[in-house]
Structure 1
Amino acid sequence: MLLHQQYTRHGPDYRFGEQMTFLDVKQTFGFSHVRVGRWVTREESLIAANLVFDSLADLAFILNLPPLTLGLRQTLSLAFGHGGQKGVQAHYAPGARELALAKNAGAGALAHEFWHAFDHYVALKAFSRVSGRFKCASDLWLADLPLIEHPLNQRLAEIFRVTLLSEDNLEPSDYVRRAIALDKRYGAQYFAKPTEMMARAFEACIESYQGIQNPYLVSGTHHSALAKEGAYPDEQHRLRIFNALIAYFEPLGMALGKAG
C-alpha cells in the first residue's frame, strides 16, 4: 500500500525537501491535465506527487530533456488512482492520450508507459501516409512506412533499428528472437509486439543508467522472473540502444530549449 511502502531512490535532489502537489507535476512537466481519483486521500496524494515528480525529473535528466517536454506539448494527461484497469500497474490510453498510474500498484511502470505515450505521439510527426489515430511509430517503422524528411526522424529510426535488428541489419536482433520465443511459450501475442518491445527496451535502458536508481520510475528489468527469461535487452544491447536514445533526445531537447 502507498502509505506503508518505502521507495529507496538514489539521484539528484530536485525538490530540496519541498513538498510537491499534482499541480506542481502538471505545471513542471507540461501535462494538459492531471486527475487524482476520489478514493485517494490527501496524504496519499502528497506522497504520490513527490514520487511522480522525482520520477519524471529523473526521466528528463537521463534523456537530457527540458522537464516541460515530457507532457508532449501539452497533449498528454496524467491520472493517479483514477481510471485504471484492475490488476494493471499502469497503462496508456491512446484515445484519451492519458497515462494512468494505479494508486497502490503503479510503482515501476512509469518509464514503460511513458514510452507508449511517446511512441503514439511521435508517429504522425515522423511518418507519412499514416492511417488511423492510434498508430505507434514503432509499428510504422516495422511496416516500412516512409519517414518525413528530418534529421531527428532519421535518429528516431536508428533507435528502432538498433533495438529490433541485428548489427548487420540482416536479421531480427537476439532480443526480438527472445520476445518471439516468449510469445510461443505463453501462447500470447504480446512480448513481440513492436511497441511492447520498444517500451521494455526503453525502460531497461533507463534502469541501467548509472547514477540514478528509482524503483518508482522503473523496476524489474534486471532480476525479475521476466528478466531471467530474456524479456529485456542484455546489458551490451542496452548500451547501444541508450546511445541511440541519447543521440535522438539530446538534440531534441536542445531544439526545444531554444524554442522555449
Structure 2
Amino acid sequence: MNEREAEKFVKKDNVWKKPDYQAMLDAGSPLGVVYFVKKVRDSLGASPQYRYSDNTPEKRFARQKEYIDTVRQIQAVMEDVQTVADAMGVYDRFLVGNGYVDMVQGWGSGIHYSATEKGRNNPVITDKLARTLHIRSEAYFERDFTQKARKEQFGVPKDQKVPAGYAIHFYDGKNGYSRAGDWRPGTYYVTKGYSILQTNIESHEAALRWAKEFAGQRSKSGKVRFVPRQLEHVHRGGPDYRSGQEINGQDYLDTFGFRGGEFGNWMNQNDRQASLNMGFEALKDLASALQVNDKDIAYQGVLAIAFGARGSGNAAAHYEPLRKVINLTKMHGAGSLAHEWWHGFDDYLGTKMGAKGLLSEQPYLYPLFKKLVDTMKYKPESQEQAARRTEIQNARMQKNAEGWLDSAVLSSLKYYGDESTLEQYAALKTAFLSGEPGTVDKISTLKKQTAGRVIPKSERERLESFERILHGMQEQETPQIGRTETDYYRNSMKMGKECEKDGGYWDSNVEMTARAFACYVKDTLPYASDYLTGHAECALTFVTDKSGNTELLRAYPQGEERKAINAVFDEIVADLKLQHILTHEDITQPLPVKHVPLAENEQISMFTDSRPSVIGQLAAAKPAVKEKPVQAASKSTHAPEL
C-alpha cells in the first residue's frame, strides 16, 4: 500500500470483519455473551490513532502495523468466548497476558491493575476498552450486557423491532392504569415514555404494527438527498474536434495523456461509443475555455477516467483522490464533467502546493485560492446594509452603556435622592448616551452630592471608555463598509440543511469551488457544451419557511457575485500559466483525420498493451464474488457529489 491507500484501508472493518451476531445467536450462544463481543469490538477505534510524535510516514506506518496486530490479538481472544465465565476471563487473558496491564498487590485493598508502558504507548488500549472488558461479577455481566441487550432489542429481527422510544406491554387485568376501567384483560397497550398512546390491542403483532405506523407519521419530515436530474438531451454547438470520426480509447491516451481508463461491464457498445464521443468533445471544449494545452486536461499524465465503471451511490459523477480517477456514470454523468475535473485539479494543485489533500481545504497555501474562497463566501456590504448594521451595533452599545451606568449609580440616587435628583440623572444619562464628553464626571459629582461617595474607580474607567466610544459613534458621519455573506454561501448552507443529514457538504470549500468552476466554464465558452457543464446550474430546490412561504433556492453563483468569482478564476488560470503548471494555447486543434477505420464489432477499450490501466489492474486483482458482471472499483474517499 502507498501512504494514501494505507490511510484508507487500515480500518477496523478490514482487520476484524464484523461478526455475524445473528448467526452466533442462532447457534446457541447466550444473548449477553454475543452482546459482550459486540461491545468489545465497538470499543475499538475505527482506525489507528496517531501521537503527535508520529510525524513521518515511517512512524505512521509503524503505528498502523501496531493497530493491526493489537486488533488481531483481541479478535483471537474474543473468538474463544462462549460463556459468561469466558467473558470474565478476557481482561486477564488479553490485557494482562499481552503485557498491557500489570496485576498489583495492594496493602489492604487486594489486587488492582495498573497500565504498563507498553499499554500506555498503544493508542488501541483505551479506558473505554478496559472498562468494557472489566467484568466484576456475574450479576454485573447480567445487568450491563444481558439486560442492556434486551433493552436495545439486540438480535431482534428488524421487522420485529419496536420503534426507538416506544414500548409494548401486555395487560393481564391486574395492574392497569385505566381511570375509566375500560381496559380489557389479555390485550396489549403501547407507550412512549410515560405516555400511554393506545390500549386494548388484540395481539402483539397488531400493537407492533400500530407503533410503527404511529412512529412513521412523526418522522415524515426527514431530509431528501439531492440528486440532479438526468439531461434529456445533450446539446453542443462547438467546433467539430472529432473531424467526424468515432473516438476510441487510444484517442484519449494520445490526445489528453490520460494515465488510463475503463468502462463498466454494464455499458453496451453504443453506450461506450456515445460516451467516448461526447466526453472527448467536452474535454476539448474545456481546453478551449481555459486556453490550455490538451495534455493539461489530464494534469500531464496524472489523471485517469472511467465511464460507468466506478459508481458511487446515487452520484451522477465523482472523483476519487486515492486513485486520481474521474468517473461519469453512464448518461447520469453527462453535465458534471467540468465539476469533477475541477475536483481532480484541486487535488493536483494540492500536491503541487504542499497541501495534505485538496488545495481548497487548505486555501491559505495559495493566495489566489484564498481569494477565491473569500470571494465565494463574502462580498462588500451595500450602503443600506452598512447603515442598518451600524444602527443595530450602536443600539446594542447604548443599551450596554446604559446598563453599566444604571448599575453604578441609580440605586444610590434612588435611596438617598429625591425626584429632582432623578430628573438631573435622567438628563445627564441622555447626554452620556449621546457621547457628550465630561458627562461621567458630572454623574460622579451628582452621586457624591447625593450619596456621599463617587463612582468607584474600576466602574468609572469602564464608563469613561463607553463615553469615548459613544462620542466616536456620533462623530462618524458615514458607516464603514464591511462585508457580508454572499447569496451563494447562504444558499449553500440552506441547501445543506434541506438535503443533508449531517451538514458540511454543500457549503464546503471543496464543493463550492467545484460548482463555481462549472459555472465559470459555462460562462467562458461561447457555445453550449451540455456534457461538460449541463449540470452547472442544476443545484436548486424549493424550500418552505416557517410561515409556509415557498421559495426557489439556488446553490450556485449568480449575478454580480458570479462575475466576481469568474474574475478570480481568470486570475488563477493566468497565474498557473505563469508558473508553468498550465500551458497556454490560443487555439484548440481538432483530431487529425484517421485513415484506418475501426473494424466491425471491435471492442472499444481505453486499455492498451503498451499502456495498461492502473485501475484495470486493481479491478483484475479483485476476486469475483458474483456470477453476473460487477463494477470493478473501491468506493471513493470523496463524498458523493452532483
Task: Pick the TM interval, shorter chain.
Answer: 0.7 to 0.9
Secondary structure, counterpart of 1:217 in structure 2: helix
Unaligned segments of structure 1, at least 5 residues? 148-152
Q: State how far apart, in whole Å, the 2-side matches of 1:6 and 1:180 are.
A: 31
Residue 170 of structure 1: CA displacement? 4.2
Aligned-residue CA RMSD (Å): 2.4
Counterpart residue number, 2:12: none
Confirm or deny that 1:30 pairs with 2:345.
Answer: no
Q: What is the alpha-carbon distance in structure 2 between the residues aligned to residue 34 and residue 187 of structure 1? A: 32
What's the CA shift for 1:94?
A: 1.1
Q: Which secondary structure state, in structure 2, belongs to the residue aligned with residue 35 of structure 1?
A: strand
487, 495, 509: which one aligns with 1:182: 495
Q: Does 1:125 align with 2:352?
A: yes
Residue in 1 aligned with 2:510? 195
Give, in whole Å, the separation in 1 of the partners of 2:243 and 2:561. Answer: 35
The percentage of aligned residue pairs carrying the same residue is: 28
Moved more, 57-66 or 39-48: 39-48
Give 1:154's match in structure 2, choosing from 337, 358, 367.
367
Structure 1 runs (4+) deviating above 6 angstroms are none
For residue 6 of structure 1, report the CA deviation from its aligned partner.
4.3
Give the deviation of 1:75 after TM superposition: 1.5
Q: Report if aligned partners of 1:79, 1:100 keep a CA contact under 8 Å in 2.
A: yes
Distance in 2 between the 1:193 and 1:173 partners?
Answer: 14
Q: 1:73 aligns with which of 296, 300, 305?
A: 300
Partner residue, 1:53 = 280
**8 Å contact 1:65–1:252 — kept in the other structure?**
no
The reply on whether 1:236 has 2:560 as its aligned counterpart is yes
* Alpha-carbon shift at residue 13 of structure 1 (Å): 2.3
Which runs of 5 or more residues in structure 2 are unaligned?
1-231, 382-481, 543-551, 585-642
Contact 1:81/1:101 (8 A) holds in 2: yes
Matches within 5 A, 1:215-254: 215-222=530-537, 225-226=540-541, 228-253=552-577
Q: Does 1:139 align with 2:463?
A: no
Quick check: 1:182–1:231 contact (8 Å CA) kept in 2? yes
Distance 1:251 1:13 in 2: 30
Q: Does 1:212 align with 2:434?
A: no
Task: Quote how far apart the aligned CAs of 1:253 are.
Answer: 4.1
Structure number with larger C-alpha Rg: 2
Q: Could you tell me how far apart the structure 1 residues matched to 2:527 and 2:262 are?
A: 28
SS at match of 1:92: strand
| Superimposed CA distance per residue, residues 147-196 of structure 1 (whole angstroms, 9 cap, x where no aligned partner) | 2xxxxx43343333322332478444331122112222335422111101
Superimposed CA distance per residue, residues 230-253 of structure 1 (whole angstroms, 9 cap, x where no aligned partner): 200013222222222122213534
> Which region of structure 1 is more displaced relative to structure 2, 81-90 or 184-193?
184-193
Distance 1:163 1:155 in 2: 12
Q: Does 1:103 align with 2:427?
A: no
Using the size of structure 2 for normalisation, the TM-score is 0.35
Deviations 1:202-251 (A, max 9, x none): 11222233512111112244466349412000132222222221222135
The one-letter code sitting in structure 1 at the alignment partner of 2:359 is A
1:11 and 1:58 in contact (8 A); partners too: yes
**Distance in 2 of aligned mates of 1:84 and 1:161:** 33
**Partner of residue 150, structure 1:** none
CA distance in 2, matches of 1:230, 1:43: 35
The alpha carbon displacement at 1:74 in A equals 1.4
Using CA pairs below 8 Å that are at least 6 residues apart, which structure has the higher relative contact order? 1
- Normalized against structure 1, the TM-score is what? 0.82
